Amino acid sequence: MPTDDQAVRYEPDESPPPAVAAGAGLQAAMIIVAPVVLSVVIIARVADQSDDYIAWAAFAALLISGACTILQAVRVGRIGAGHVLIMG
């Protein structure tokens, strides 16, 4: 029976190969973007908004989500965690 240490692929001070990191990042981005856009589309459809409005609202939601994520990562004074926390 394997121990918990045998299942660890990378230690905290190690980095995965660039292809593995890019693949994991792409998967994470898809998982994060979908609910943000979906919630905007559902709310706009219920409110009988046009397709142009939905496109603008989805863009605005992604822009605000990205700005909040950057603010959390950068840490300006006492604002922000200093870590990448996805705000979506």
- Ordered by start, the domain boundaries in the chain are 17-88
Q: Which long-range contacts (CB under 8 A, 24 or more apart) does 67-71 make?
A: none
Q: Is 11 helix (H, G, I), strand (E, B) or coil?
A: coil
What CA–CA distance (Å, rounded) separates 14 from 17? 10
pLDDT (tens digit per residue) in 45-73: 999 999 999 999 999 999 999 999 898 89
Taking the C-alpha atoms of residue 56 and residue 47, their distance in angstroms, rounded to an integer, is 15
Q: Which residue has the higher pLDDT, 21 or 60?
A: 60
Output the pTM of the full model.
0.73
